[in-house]
Structures are given as C-alpha cells and as structure tokens.
Structure 1
Amino acid sequence: MTDTDMAGHDHATDFGTDPTRAALLKAMLPHVPAEGWSDRAFEAAAREAEVTLSEARAAAPRRGLDLAAEWHRQADRALVRRLRAADLSGLRMRDRIAFAIKARTEETSEREVLRRSTALFSLPQNASLGAHLLWETADLIWDALGDTSRDGNWYSKRATLAAVLASVVLYRLGDESPGLERTRAFIDRRIDDVMAFEKWKAGARDNPVLRHVAGPIGWLMGQIHAPERPDLPGGWKEK
C-alpha cells in the first residue's frame, strides 16, 4: 500500500503526540504489569521522566487513563506506518483486513499491559472511552483499506470490525501459543464472519425472498451519514 492509497486517511496519525505524554508513557509502561495504570505508577513515571507532577497532570489530566489511551493510539500510529509500507494490492479484501488486525495485535504484544488496559476500559466509567478507541481502530483499518462509504454502511462495517477487534483482544489474553498462532487462526475465523455479513448485505438486494426487507433497509442505510471526524461514535473532544 502506497502513500497515495493512504492519502486523505491520516486521522489516526493526528492523535495527541505531546512529548511529555510520550515520555510519561515510556516511563510508566514497566510499572503497569505490577501496578496497573494507577496513580502510584503515574507518579513514579513522572519522577522517572523528570517532569513535575503538575506538568505530568497537564499532559495527562486523567493520569493513567490518558496514558492507557495513548498506548492504544501509539499502536494505531504504528499500524498506519506498517500499512503504508505494505503492498497489499494482490490480496483479497478479507486477507487485507486479516493482515491489518494481525499487525495491530503485534503492536500490543505486552500481554500484561494489555490485560491491565482491558480491565481499565472495562470499568463502567471508562467503557465509553474503551469503545471509542476500538471504533477509532476499526475506522483506521477500513479507511486504510480504501473504504469510501459515507452512509449506513460506514457504521455497519466499523461496528462489525470493532466487535472483532474486541473479541481478538480477549482471545489473545489467554493465548500462550508460539507466535500467537492460535490468535492468528482466530482472527482468520472472525474475518470470515465479517465478510459473510458484507456478502449477505450485497446479496440481499438480489434475493427475491429478502428483497422486500433489503429494499427498505437499503433506503434507510442511504439516509444515514457518517460523522465528521473527530466526532466518532462514543467520543468527545478532549480538552
């Protein structure tokens, strides 16, 4: 995939890359497996990054939660670079999606950090942010692979892929196979689910049995419009 293929789809690289936040994240990651994204780990990271607590809180107002989100987005930015460097032109769409998800999984290879992050975003007060981050990643992948839909299909594609991404994270947490072989096989199976749904949507229009349902649904999907970035579902503008 060339830079031209990615043109116009750089929103994932626009996430906050504040140098203080980046330094805090780098210093905090070694503490996360034992202490989680806690205030104690955050304060230790500030000391090790040689920034005052005030400076640290200015860069990450929600402390560990902001750094956990930055860790997720850091992996998204790495995925953008990998997709730009990869030549996917000879692959089927299902294989392109599988490649992207496998590459994204490799960017968060630290299982204990991933486990702590999953637990953090599973808390009720953080669930909206967790869902928003998954949606960002799904949006990034579909955009990078050339999706141009701006109607209801924009939502259905990203909702389906976000669900796959969530299931892959949970499966990966229990996978101890060499090279994450089981997770990679799981991704292939789940991508089949995504493509089966897309195939069903395409075929429903031509199926005489489903046509009476597909027609109204297709009309409704056409009336829905994708949001303007960065206002993705579940998100808010950070201060």
Structure 2
Amino acid sequence: MASFLVARRLLSTAAARRLLPCTSPPPSAPAALCWLSTEASAHPPLPAPPLEPTVDPPKKDGASFSAGSGAGGAYGTGQGAASGGRRPGGAGYEEEQQKVLRASLLHVPRMGWSESAMIAGARDVSVSPAIVGAFPRKEAALVEFFMDDCLQQLMDRVDAGEGELLKNLMLTERLCRLVQMRLEMQTPYISKWPQALSIQSQPANVSTSLKQRAVLVDEIWHAAGDDGSDIDWYAKRTVLGGIYSASEVYMLTDNSPEFHDTWTFVNRGIKGALDLGKSYKEAAYLAETVGAGIGGSINGVLNKVFQK
C-alpha cells in the first residue's frame, strides 16, 4: 500500500510539472503545484521570435530580380529603355566603392581584371586598399561594374541625341550601329577581354553575366524602336544575343584598323539574319549556331527574366 501511495504521488508531481506556469494558482491547488508555479515565475518566458521580413511580390511592369551575389542591386525589366527601368552603373554600391571600381578600370589595361587593379584604384582615390575585401567576388565585381556602366553610357548616348539620328536609319542599320557603339566601349580593354570572358563564365558568375547580356540585348532592341510584344519577342533577342556574342569573340582576333572587320562582321550577321526573309525562329537557330550556343543560353535567360 505504501509503495502504491509513493507511485501515485510521483505521478501527480510529474503531471503538475507539465502544466504551464502560472503566477497565482487557484486556492484549491496542492502545495506541490504552488511550489512549481512560484519557481517558474522566477524565470520569465522566452520572447516571441521576430517576425519574418515581408517581401513585396515583383510587379508586372518594371519587375526586378535579384542578382544574387552579383554586382548588387536589381535589373529593371519589362519596358526596357522606354520605362527608365534600366539599372544605372554602380547601383548597389556605396559611393566610395563606386569610386574605387571606376578608378580601378584605368589600371585594367595594364594589370588585367584583378585584385591588384582594384588595390591600385583604391589608392588613386585615397581609400584604404582594405576596401577591396568588401567585394566578395572581387574580379567579377569589377567586370560586372564595367558591364553595367557601359550599358548606362549606351542608353545615355541614345537619350542625349543619338536616338534621333537612329530614326533616319533602317532597322538593321540601327541595330548594327547600337551593337557597334557598345562593342567600341571594350576597345581599350581588348587585350584583357579574354580574361573578362573567363571570369564571367565561372560558375559563381555565369548567372549574373547572362542576365546582364539579356538586359543589354533587350535595351538595344528597344533603342532600335522595337516595342512589340508579339510571339517573336524572345526570338528577336535570341538572334541579337547570338550575333552580339559572336561579334564579341570575333573582335578578339581582329587586327584590322579600328576594328573595321568586326563592324563588317556585325553588319553581315544582322542583315543576314533579318533581311533574308527568314522567320525570327529560323534566324534564332542561325544565331545560336554562329554564336556557338551563346544565343540559346541568352534565350533561356530571357525566358526566366522577362516571362513574369
């Protein structure tokens, strides 16, 4: 009988410990429960976990996507240059970081797309070289900053008056002119551009690189006057993406004066794709073949980036 009472008392105590602590138990509560309540009140309950941050869903027009660990910020999409939704060069960086990256570009022709060039750029603007450590992917950040800055320069030139001159040209001529304007910005770095392409193709960087190129070809089409949203929208950009990438590679081995042969290659590629009565889907296949598959890669990115 005694052992039964002991077991019953232990069970009662264990059950009482499972109850939520209360500051003032009811008068009829047993002494053991009153003791448990007093002990628990000395230790306040843990605070509620912080609320999860809310993220606004992407808008249909001017939607943006994260660049992951890219150059920072988000790329405007949807309406191209017409909406002012483009991402300005240096977006996502502090002013001091932008100064360092811009100054670093002056050292790229000699030092390449390297941490050394970034350190030299920091010293040029009287910033501690330790700031280079703030860029997780250093060399990739420099290349991506250059790509964004070139796109901004191209669109600024269109807005500043180049767009009016383009209106007097045929569509193929407008595209050729815009592609040439953009590729000309790489001429000071042409000896180091293979290194830039290698950096862009690294697994950690390729996503941002393809997104930047997708936005570039979209902006060029808009600047050329194409605001349509027909079934050939993706194919048009695939065509231009493949031709642009093929021309970029061709430029690396062009020894003609002022890259004359490259501009001829651009002209022939665009006119060959768009002037021979081909459907855009046929031209997209041609661009993918000529561009060694780069056109197809851009098409895949375009589908992901602009499909929302």
TM-score, structure 2 normalization: 0.57
Structure 2 spans left out of the alignment, 5+ residues? 1-79, 283-301
Deviation at 1:133, TM superposition (A): 1.8
Counterpart in the other structure of 1:210: none
Alignment equivalent of 2:186, drawn from 85, 108, 111: 108
1:129 and 1:152 map into 2 onto residues whose CA distance is: 26
Counterpart in the other structure of 2:128: 52
Where do residues 3-18 of structure 1 align in structure 2 (5 Å cutoff)?
Answer: 8-17=82-91, 18=93
Where do residues 79-158 of structure 1 align in structure 2 (5 Å cutoff)?
Answer: 79-84=154-159, 85-86=161-162, 87-110=165-188, 111-158=190-237
CA contact (8 A) 1:35 1:41 kept: yes
2:120 and 2:81 map into 1 onto residues whose CA distance is: 40
- Return the structure number with greater relative CO, CA threshold 8 A, min gap 6: 1
Where do residues 36-51 of structure 1 align in structure 2 (5 Å cutoff)?
Answer: 36-51=112-127
Deviation at 1:55, TM superposition (A): 4.1
Counterpart in the other structure of 1:207: none
Change (3 A) 1:154 1:51: farther
Change (3 A) 1:153 1:203: closer
Are residue 183 (structure 1) and residue 262 (structure 2) matched? yes
Alignment equivalent of 1:195, drawn from 243, 268, 274: 274
CA contact (8 A) 1:102 1:184 kept: yes
Deviation at 1:57, TM superposition (A): 4.3
Greater share of helix: 1
Change (3 A) 1:23 1:107: same
Structure 1 spans left out of the alignment, 5+ residues? 1-5, 205-225, 234-239
Counterpart in the other structure of 1:208: none
2:174 and 2:111 map into 1 onto residues whose CA distance is: 37
1:115 and 1:38 map into 2 onto residues whose CA distance is: 13
Question: Alpha-carbon deviations, 1:174-219, whole Å to 9, x = none?
Answer: 112112110110010111233148x433799xxxxxxxxxxxxxxx
Q: Which of the pair has more CA radius of gyration?
A: 2
Change (3 A) 1:30 1:115: farther
CA contact (8 A) 1:78 1:107 kept: no
TM-score, structure 1 normalization: 0.72
Question: Between Structure 1 and Structure 2, how many residues are aligned?
Answer: 202
2:121 and 2:253 map into 1 onto residues whose CA distance is: 28
Quick one: which amino acid aligns to residue 151 of structure 2? D
Counterpart in the other structure of 1:69: 144
1:83 and 1:21 map into 2 onto residues whose CA distance is: 27
CA contact (8 A) 2:221 2:237 kept: yes
RMSD (Å) for aligned C-alpha atoms: 2.8
2:168 and 2:218 map into 1 onto residues whose CA distance is: 22
Are residue 31 (structure 1) and residue 31 (structure 2) matched? no
Question: Alpha-carbon deviations, 1:118-161, whole Å to 9, x = none?
Answer: 22113343222222221121011011122223354222111211
2:274 and 2:143 map into 1 onto residues whose CA distance is: 31
